[in-house]
């Protein structure tokens, strides 16, 4: 089972998130039937996120590319985001989770391409009108040729270091609700050439009540070549303690594509975070977004927020670390990484990577 990629397109590479970004794709929160009373707070968090993405600093700032439903939505978004470098695109979308519904941008000898996986509403759980159209729309607006791939996959299921290593989970990509009958070898045969990945590190289970069936971007992230962050349980009462320990142990025993044993930095877990209805939510500090000049980190109003921010600021000493409340956003099932999709600068690979700093 092979990805239908022309040999002239290869080699392709998904660049690391800390490499230079030209833009970030997002969608304005605009579905009151989904968000209810939380919508104003979700918009506040969205605005704070966008301000961090386009923030000036030592690197050229990225541009925000924002989907809006109609003229009224564009006017509301423009007022909330006044003075920022952004562009609006009118297009219907089911919700704001562009990490999963937008294409994944990769670079190759013929320039950037837009990987378009098959999408089935997170295993058939959320079939929202418009979401299946976003990949092609964003690829066209970005001016990037689409590369269709015969794999049901979302961007949040993939985490790369830009040097040949990918983190993912069996719970998601091998789930019968996405790719029934597929093996690890089948998935790697499609993703390897498409992402420029030689080494896959497979984790098992994700967080409880995770709508995405274990997306890796809530579990473990690269912060530099050879360095990953995950979470440690917040005491014996942490509902995800068993899964978090297993993730940390797997990472600590893994080598990357360059033969380096991974250095593992354990952020604290926020522990049990409940929604307004008392249900457990999949809260994670790992669902941060790495912008050109800032790292935007979800916070939850608990004691562990400060320690998570401190550790991440040490991982990214040349970027500002911004903590933004994600409590309202999390009611929809995710946080800041879930609602973003970066578009690298065409010359992103020529810039120096985020090199390892001192150990935390």
185 within 8 A of 169, measured Cβ to Cβ? no
| Sequential pLDDT tens for the chain (360 residues) | 445 577 667 789 999 999 999 999 999 999 999 999 999 999 999 999 999 999 999 999 999 999 999 999 999 999 999 999 999 999 999 999 999 999 999 999 889 999 999 999 999 999 999 999 999 999 999 999 999 999 999 999 999 999 999 999 999 999 999 999 999 999 999 999 999 999 999 999 999 999 999 999 999 999 999 999 999 999 888 999 999 999 999 999 999 999 999 999 999 999 999 999 999 999 999 999 999 999 999 999 999 999 999 999 999 999 999 999 999 999 999 999 999 999 999 977 554 444 433 222
169: its two tokens: 């989970």
174: its two tokens: 């091998």
279 alpha carbon, distance to own chain's centre: 24
Domain count, the chain: 1
* Ranges of H-type helices in 147-288: 170-173, 184-195, 241-252
DSSP state, residue 255: B
The pLDDT value given to residue 259: 98
State the CATH number of the domain containing residue 159.
3.75.10.10
How many whole angstroms separate alpha carbon 222 and alpha carbon 264?
9
Is 355 inside a domain boundary? no
The pLDDT value given to residue 4: 59
State the pTM of this model.
0.94
Is 59 inside a domain boundary? yes
Is 294 inside a domain boundary? yes
- The residues, ordered by sequence, that sit 6+ positions from 246 with a Cβ below 8 Å of its Cβ are 203, 204, 205
The four Cα atoms 46, 47, 48, 49 give a dihedral, to 10 degrees, of 50
Classify residue 313 by burial, with Cβ atoms within 10 Å: 0-12, 13-18, 19+.
Answer: middle
What are the phi and psi torsion angles at 24 (to 5°)? -135, 130
Range of the domain at 242: 11-346
Length of the chain: 360
CA quadruple 208, 209, 214, 217: dihedral sign: negative
* Ranges of H-type helices in 207-279: 241-252
Is 2 inside a domain boundary? no
The pLDDT value given to residue 11: 86
Q: Which residues are known catalytic residues?
A: 338
- The angle subtended at Cα 249 by Cα 248 and Cα 251, nearest 5°, is 65
131: its two tokens: 């979401």
How many whole angstroms separate alpha carbon 291 and alpha carbon 22?
10
Largest Cα–Cα distance of the chain, in whole Å?
53
22 within 8 A of 86, measured Cβ to Cβ? no
96 alpha carbon, distance to own chain's centre: 13
Is 354 inside a domain boundary? no
The pLDDT value given to residue 69: 97
pLDDT in tens, 298-326: 999 999 999 999 999 999 999 999 999 99
Is 360 inside a domain boundary? no
Classify residue 146 by burial, with Cβ atoms within 10 Å: 0-12, 13-18, 19+.
Answer: middle
Is 313 inside a domain boundary? yes
- The residues, ordered by sequence, that sit 6+ positions from 128 with a Cβ below 8 Å of its Cβ are 93, 94, 95, 121
Is 17 inside a domain boundary? yes
């Amino acid at each position: 089972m092979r990805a239908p990629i022309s040999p002239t397109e290869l080699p392709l590479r998904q660049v690391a998130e800390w490499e230079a970004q030209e833009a970030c794709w997002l969608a304005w929160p605009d579905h009151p039937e989904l968000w209810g009373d939380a919508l104003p707070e979700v918009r506040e968090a969205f605005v704070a996120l966008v301000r961090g993405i386009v923030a000036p600093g030592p690197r050229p700032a990225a541009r925000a590319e924002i989907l809006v439903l109609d003229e009224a939505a564009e006017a509301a978004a423009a007022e909330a985001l006044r003075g920022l470098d952004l562009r609006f695109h009118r297009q219907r979308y089911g919700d704001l989770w562009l990490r999963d519904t937008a294409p994944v941008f990769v670079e190759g000898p013929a320039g950037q391409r837009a990987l378009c996986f098959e999408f089935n509403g997170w295993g058939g759980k959320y079939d929202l009108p418009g979401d299946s159209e976003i990949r092609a729309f964003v690829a066209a607006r970005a001016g990037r040729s689409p590369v269709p791939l015969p794999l049901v996959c979302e961007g949040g299921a993939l985490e790369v270091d830009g040097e040949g290593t990918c983190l993912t989970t069996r719970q998601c990509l091998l789930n019968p609700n996405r790719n029934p009958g597929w093996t690890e070898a089948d998935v790697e045969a499609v993703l390897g050439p498409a992402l420029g990945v030689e080494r896959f590190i497979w984790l098992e289970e994700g967080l409880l009540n995770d709508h995405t069936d274990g997306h890796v971007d809530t579990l473990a992230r690269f912060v530099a070549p050879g360095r990953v962050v995950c979470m440690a349980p917040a005491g014996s009462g942490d509902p995800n303690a068993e899964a978090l320990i297993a993730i940390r142990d797997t990472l600590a025993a893994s080598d990357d594509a360059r033969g380096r044993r991974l250095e593992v930095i354990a952020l604290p877990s926020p522990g049990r975070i409940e929604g307004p209805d008392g249900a457990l939510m999949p809260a994670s500090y790992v669902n941060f977004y790495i912008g050109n000049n800032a790292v935007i980190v979800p916070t939850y109003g608990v004691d562990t927020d400060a320690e998570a921010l401190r550790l991440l600021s040490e991982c990214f000493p040349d970027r500002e670390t911004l903590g933004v409340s994600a409590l309202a956003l999390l009611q929809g099932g995710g946080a800041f990484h879930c609602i973003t999709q970066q578009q690298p600068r065409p010359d992103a690979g020529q810039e120096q990577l985020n090199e390892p700093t001192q150990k935390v």
